[in-house]
Structure 1
């Protein structure tokens, strides 16, 4: 009987987005299975693809044979079905969705050589190591064979790696060869797992749960399969301990768990705590690992040796069998939304994953998203509250400083008088403080005071940020860097002034005012290298006293009991962004960073510097009551049809040619207008806030639809069968989280 396989090709053109049928030769019948990487003919050249189904062909004429099977299956039918759902939901190619589930760096490629087409090996492969085992413990080497005698003595207690012998006795190769020839030792290879940083060292301290924590664990453990629990707990309420005890309960049931944190800055502390509790059962997956390290962690999960996977967004796609629990910590964070294809949201994919696998999803946050809060009000998810800190410590007192009054009173420095006094007090008592400024660099921009010239990026429609340590101007969008000019390029004036405040400037000001105080800066510059987050956090943790200056990566999840003071240098960043989530995000950020203070015996203080002291987000932080803010924001979104009362999609058009971008955007808008249902709304095409980025001119169209409506299939059908748009890039973003 002739069998055929549907093969999803690992190629770029959207015209080849769907699986193609290939015949299965008899010689490959036993090895062609769902998930297997295969080599197939595509026109006049070979291509790599993945088998997504096997069965009797509907049409046999013209089917070409699969050339070869390139390895064992890399995914199963369940994962392919979920990848297909992601492709439909987020209007992307199935291969882009499927790549989420493949082992990191494992995809084979085809390259043309002089002698024909050849497979390039994947960039990662299992690491092996040579071990030596003693077969004859009674053997006594000759007295003169000192190295042989040392080897035999070293192996009495068990096998050793060749590298260990080399470190202990020097080059062992000749002596090993002699012993192996006599049958005294055996040399063999075994798989070596590449080590991964264990995070910050932590002891496993199982605290007695508060009543609220115990009720939360019980609610999670007893939740019905496929359900969602929202863990709404104030900062310091012990959400991580609830997670760990829920994971422990799932493991005792013989099932497994995935725990997500929103960004790499949270990984060191969280991994340290989970590793202390679960040890070798833990696998870690995040973007700062090498391809080889991520490949090994993926394999640990696939083999079942690791029963708990923890990491950033991509850890959701680890090959975890018998999944019982998925935890998304800081579920409100926008970093759970992927910014490139496939533009999925981890929270929504996790809901679909637990539904299909009969697991439970826990969404945890001190400042839940409005979407999750609304879902709890409608009964779609169950909300469990942790209303107080686990230690019994009070929430920190919040002081708001009106910076317009500070300016009117003659204070021209970045530190208001209340913040400077609070820092003086903490430093005098050799305590610790955290200063938050949501902008890296030294100054936001440079301006000529004579003609008003501001240096802009040559490829992006944004101003350049001044970095003091490099004495250079940097674009934080494309990375373009140029030297700070000595004179204005437009008028020649020497009067170039630096405006705005960044982390480098705050650091410099602290060093100037308090020269003996240790200062640690945590931003994208200081943590750029591998292990940077662990190094910076460990430096602050081990300092007897000092100040941590950082961007939003210090604002959430970090637990330092000895932090007494949090100073928010500029609360207004992002407050008036052209984004319907601006108020919500401002509140979340301010509330989260405030929660770093006062987690232990000494009470905490928070000083918020702002030019908008009556802003709803600031008022909610001061009162500690978000109810008025939530009610107001939800009412406004209901009126305007924004999530959760409607769905959005963004279609972004970009091209090096401005005219091509404008023309393509108009054509796409017309196509959409003729394709979408009558109750959908189209806005645009218009120029987004950043009209040019990385050398590309940009236009976008916003689509608004009723809640619960699947946007992806309609957008995909409308936008992928149009005329070829030479030199134009098209991106579809369903449920976008930024529209700059």
Structure 2
């Protein structure tokens, strides 16, 4: 046993440090340790000495490690993933490593807390709020704040029910084991195509070798049931499975679906968990006791003891790309984790990304297809409404043909969904007297009006203030005009057209937690909602058999701007929202409002000819040597001082290395030239696929110095060009 250890401490500014291992202390690679740094004590992880370079320090100058956490060491495959992620995305090793340890509480000993649950007793004083709370809580258990959120009441209502004996406290061991899923509990009846694909995935799990799959199935084809067969095989073998979802709002409906299949809920992992829940999940995963984890992209970096399959559901979703901190793409990192773990990786999607399709064509991924919907369900009929030929009445946004379709849908007792990927009431508010436009003081962005909360809000930095009654420039009252529609404005129009209909607005403003998502699903399934007006939050994952009409309010919205993936994203998004229609026995209809019915993406949606669309898009990318046939890396320079940011960006541009197969464009002000009070300049590196662009950028930027107030961020394989 070595008397010294090389440690990565949780400080991104520091490299590996060497420490002395006191006699009697057992430290191995992956051990989580407490290390002294000056007067402070920091968490760190012991690493293989031959994998990290460090300035040699004599044994007599080493400080002693202070302790070792009583948890399993981070496994070797996870350490290799941390190294790869840091290297590929040009991030500090400590920043990536920090994602493997959510909080220090996971490293402490056994703890007890008090949670609350309903007793079944009905209090004598049963107010409407108390009745609502007891109905919505049902058999759930949690802290007072959690139960209040689920019930949509105040904490005081829950505390009152505790005093009345209708809710009781229960002492809970934070480290109590998770219930074991039963792989044969609710085995589904699969179609022939599903059985074939499920059998291949099960065999791959049993083989225990790295193998990437694309599970390509139309919306409603039963992809979830297929990949759950692979999860069932992992459970039978006593191993672990990971399922990544793109939105935490999808977690709660998925947990119910999982429960129906395996008899228990899986371990959830997302930002909405409280610290005690994260602690329990982390320890269960690290010990191998937690068999199936369902979570957001951050679940990818947890210390699974014996991971045997990874599923990335809705793998085309851009929300799998982390835009802050470490700029990783969970889809790609999932494939690398599967490689290091030696297990299959399943990318499930109805609209696979061009990057994924290219991997299939190159023979690196194996494709499994589900070409039709499950059972009697059929794909919906899709039509375009030319807004130039069939415009809505003045002041309205819903075309007459879509209004007639909503009429017919409601008369049949069915549900409709109107999709517009724009939150709030209106994207711009201006003064009709002087022309003043309300702009965020911290960002190059307009303030968005939200009439539900009576505020103007910036969707980039969160800055908000009450909607003024008068123009701040000319002081004229009643002169403010809302320009353009958001979902709240569409909902107002729907309410005016159908005053008796029950309308729900579904955005990240209204569905901000798994509990809120579960409440929405329950209301839809119970028929308490007639018309849903929503953003991209409703485009994926939901299954409502009585929803038969989807109306896309503005199909052209996603085609604006200079994003190279604009057409592909628009196609994916509209295909996904179209897939919400007609998922049961009743046929579905999709009406797409557009000013450009002849656009290739709109024609592909209406004709259903996805292959021709993807072929043309792929060829355009190949001609431009854009991903996946070339490489992009964005360098973003920001500072509160505009001159400092611009000078640094110009220095970076001026010192760009001259390399065959690489071009550097810029610097130029970013489209969002100011974000959260910081001025921003961008450079774009375009390189051939074969070029090791990371090493070039690392050496290039590593030779430069800039002011302490300047930030330089590198985004490898960028998805956001703002």
Aligned match for 2:189, one of 199, 208, 213? 208
Q: Structure 1 residue 60: deviation in Å? A: 2.6
- 1:267, 1:253 → 2: CA distance? 25
Paired position in structure 2 for 1:71? 69
Cα distance in 2 for residues equivalent to 1:627 and 1:642: 19
Shift of 1:70: 4.4
Structure 1, 287-296 or 522-531: larger mean CA deviation: 522-531
Q: Is 1:625 aligned with 2:609?
A: yes
Map of 1:324-363 to 2, 5 A cutoff?
324-363=308-347
3-state SS of the aligned residue for 2:90? Answer: coil
The secondary structure found in structure 1 opposite 2:334 is helix
Q: Structure 1 192/49 Cα, relative in aligned 2: closer, same or farther at 3 Å? A: closer
What are the Cα deviations for residues 595-618 of structure 1, in whole angstroms up to 9, with x where unaligned?
A: 100111211011111112112221
Q: Secondary structure at the match of 2:557?
A: coil
Equivalent position of 1:667 in the other structure: 651
1:460-539 aligned within 5 A: 460-493=443-476, 494-528=478-512, 531-539=515-523
The correspondence for 1:592, drawn from 576, 588, 607, is 576
- Aligned equivalents of 2:330, 2:17: Cα separation in 1: 29
**TM-fit CA distance, 1:196:** 11
1:39, 1:66 within 8 Å by CA — same for their partners in 2? no
2:425 alignment counterpart? 442
CA distance in 1, matches of 2:94, 2:538: 36
Kept in 2, the 8 Å contact 1:371–1:644? The answer is yes
Q: 1:125 to 1:404 in 2, by over 3 A?
A: farther
- Which residue does the alignment assign to 2:155? none
Partner of 1:37: 32
Secondary structure class of the residue paired with 2:104? coil
SS in 2 for 1:590: helix
Partner of 1:557: 541
Q: Provide closer, same or farther for how the CA distance between residues 204 and 669 of structure 1 changes in structure 2, counting only shifts above 3 A.
A: farther
1:700 pairs with 2:682: yes
The one-character-per-residue Cα deviations of 1:308-359 (angstroms, maximum 9, x if unpaired) are 1111111222322222211111110011111122111111111111112210
SS at match of 2:384: strand
Contact 2:523 2:529 in 1 (8 A): no
3-state secondary structure, aligned to 2:499: coil
Paired with 2:50 and 2:233, the residues of 1 have a C-alpha distance of 41
What is the TM-score normalised by the length of structure 1? 0.84
State the Cα distance separating 1:265 from its structure 2 match.
2.2
Residues 252, 127 of structure 1: alpha-carbon distance in 2 compared, 3 angstrom cutoff? same
C-alpha separation between the residues in 1 aligned to 2:712 and 2:695?
A: 16
2:431 matches 1:433 = no
Kept in 2: contact 1:431–1:546 (CA 8 A): yes
Correspondence 1:74-93 to 2 at 5 A: 74-93=73-92
In the other structure, the counterpart of 1:118 is: none
Name the CA distance, whole Å, in 1 between partners of 2:179 and 2:684.
Answer: 42
2:4 counterpart residue number:
4
Residue among 692, 701, 711 paired with 1:719: 701
Contact 2:35 2:41 in 1 (8 A): yes
Deviation at 1:197, TM superposition (A): 14
Q: Distance in 1 between matches of 2:506 and 2:551?
A: 15
In the other structure, the counterpart of 2:104 is: 106
Report if the CA contact (8 A) 2:311-2:345 is conserved.
yes
**Residue in 2 aligned with 1:299?**
283
SS of alignment partner, residue 380 of structure 1: coil
* Residue 661 of structure 1: how far off its partner (Å): 0.6
Residue from 246, 264, 269 that aligns with 2:230: 246
The one of 12, 15, 18 equivalent to 1:21 is: 18
Matches of 1:389 and 1:190, distance apart in 2: 44
> Using a 3 Å threshold, how does the CA distance of structure 1 residues 592 and 607 change in structure 2: closer, same or farther?
same
CA distance in 2, matches of 1:47, 1:640: 48
Which 10-residue stretch deviates more, 480-489 or 254-263?
A: 480-489
In the superposition, the TM-score normalised over structure 2's length comes to 0.86
Q: Is the 8 A contact 2:85 2:328 kept in 1?
A: yes
Correspondence for 2:600 among 612, 616, 625 = 616
- How far, CA to CA, are the matches of 2:389 and 2:185 in structure 1? 48
* Aligned partner (choices 191, 194, 209) of residue 173 of structure 2: 191
Contact (CA 8 Å) 1:126, 1:296: kept in 2 or not? no
Q: Structure 1 residue aligned with 2:376, among 386, 389, 392?
A: 392
Residues 194 and 292, structure 1, Cα contact 8 Å, conserved in 2: no
1:667 deviates by 1.5
Give the root-mean-square deviation of aligned CA atoms. 2.8
> In the TM superposition, what is the alpha-carbon distance from 1:453 to its structure 2 partner?
2.3
Q: Following the alignment from structure 1 to structure 2, what is the Cα–Cα distance between the partners of residues 432 and 195?
A: 41
Q: Quickly say closer, same or farther: Cα 1:511–1:301, change in 2 above 3 A.
A: same
Q: Secondary structure in 2 aligned to 1:222?
A: helix
1:480-515: CA deviation from partner (whole Å, max 9, x where unpaired): 112323333334444321111111112222222212
SS in 1 for 2:664: strand
Q: What does residue 679 of structure 1 align with?
A: 661
Q: Distance in 1 between matches of 2:505 and 2:185?
A: 28
Residues 168/539 of structure 1: CA separation in 2 closer, same or farther (3 Å cut): closer
The gaps in structure 2 that reach 5 residues or longer are 115-161, 166-170
Alignment partners' CA distance in 2, 1:495 and 1:517:
32
For structure 1, list consecutive stretches of 5 or more residues without a partner in the other structure. 109-121, 131-166, 171-188
Tell me how far 1:701 sits from its aligned partner.
0.8
CA deviation profile, 1:622-645 (whole Å, cap 9, x unmatched)? 111112211111111111111010
User: Displacement of 1:61 after TM fit?
Assistant: 5.1
Please state how far the C-alpha of 1:724 moved relative to its aligned partner. 3.9
Q: Report the equivalent of 1:94.
A: 93
Shift of 1:219: 2.5
Paired residue for 1:413? 396
- Taking the aligned partners of 1:669 and 1:126, their CA distance within structure 2 comes to 54
Please name the residue that 1:566 is paired with. Answer: 550
Deviation at 1:275, TM superposition (A): 2.3
Distance 2:60 2:565 in 1: 54
Inter-partner Cα distance in structure 1 for 2:623 and 2:113: 64
Q: 1:197 to 1:630 in 2, by over 3 A?
A: farther
What whole-Å deviation, never above 9, does each CA across 1:455-486 have from its counterpart, x for those lacking one?
Answer: 10011001111111222211111111123233
> Which stretch of structure 1 is more off in the superposition, 37-46 or 505-514?
37-46
Asked whether the equivalents of residues 23 and 63 of structure 1 are also in contact (C-alpha less than 8 Å), the reply is no
- Contact kept, 8 Å, 1:260 with 1:315, in 2: the verdict is yes
Cα deviation for residue 125 of structure 1 reads: 6.9
* Residue 371 of structure 1, CA deviation: 0.7
Residue 201 of structure 2 corresponds to which residue in structure 1? 220
Report how many residues are paired.
Answer: 660
Among 696, 703, 711, the residue aligned to 1:729: 711
Secondary structure of the structure 2 residue equivalent to 1:383: strand
CA deviations on 1:637-675 (whole Å, 9 max, x unpaired) are 11111101011111111100110010111122233x13x
Contact kept? 2:185, 2:263, Cα under 8 Å = no
Deviations 1:222-260 (A, max 9, x none): 346211111110000000100111211232234321111
CA distance in 2, matches of 1:617, 1:702: 27
Do the aligned residues in 2 keep the contact of 1:25 with 1:65 (CA within 8 Å)? no
Please state how far the C-alpha of 1:377 moved relative to its aligned partner: 1.4
Cα distance, 1:445 vs structure 2 = 0.8
- Give distance in 2, aligned partners of 1:242 and 1:435: 30
Give me the whole-angstrom Cα distance separating, in 1, the residues matched to 2:178 and 2:633.
Answer: 38
Q: 1:126 to 1:728 in 2, by over 3 A?
A: farther
Change (3 A) 1:83 1:482: same
Cα deviation for residue 720 of structure 1 reads 3.6
Question: Which moved further from structure 2: 267-276 or 420-429?
Answer: 267-276
Q: Is the CA contact 2:415–2:548 (under 8 Å) kept in the aligned structure 1?
A: yes
